[in-house]
Amino acid sequence: MNKSTLAALPLLGIAFLAAPAFAGPDCDGMAMTTPMWQVAKAFEDADGVIRDMKVEDGCYEIKGETAGKKFEVYYNPTTGAELERVEG
């Protein structure tokens, strides 16, 4: 490697660290009229196991497993409807 390539490597590392992580849907401003426990119950009734639950960007987010697969699932806080499911 030449000197300019070596000099650029730390900058690439900083750019990578500054990159945003995966972001789910944005529910900011939506009314939270469906209780979070109802969303959790529906997830568990579908044989899901909840590992973590929180409000992220106004959406309800459940991290858990279903049939041995790990998921992050985002729900509309107004209707309780599933918005997005990310495996991983």
pLDDT tens sequence across 52-74:
999 999 999 999 999 999 999 99
The range of the structural domain enclosing residue 64 comes to 21-87
Q: pLDDT class for 17, splitting at 50, 70, 90?
A: very low
Question: Does 11 reside within a domain?
Answer: no
50 inside domain: yes
Distance CA 65, CA 5 (A): 43
Can you tell me the mean pLDDT for 78-88? 95
Q: Domain with 69 in it: what CATH number?
A: 3.10.450
Q: Give me the amino acid identity at 65.
A: E
Instruction: Tell me whether residue 10 is in a domain.
Output: no
In the predicted structure, residue 9 carries a pLDDT above the cut 60 = no
Mean pLDDT of 36-40: 97
Provide the residue type at 1 as one letter. Answer: M
Taking residue 46's Cβ as centre, other Cβ atoms within 10 Å add up to: 9
Residues in the chain: 88
Would you say residue 1 lies in a domain? no
Q: How many domains does the chain have?
A: 1
CA 2/CA 25 separation, integer angstroms: 43
Q: Which of 8, 57, 62, 66 is nearest to 38 (CA)?
A: 62
Global pTM value? 0.73
Residue 23 has pLDDT above 90, yes or no: no
Q: What six digits make up the tokens of 74?
A: 């985002």
Rounded to whole angstroms, the Cα distance separating 30 from 78 reads 6
57 part of a folded domain: yes
Residue 15, pLDDT above cutoff 70: no
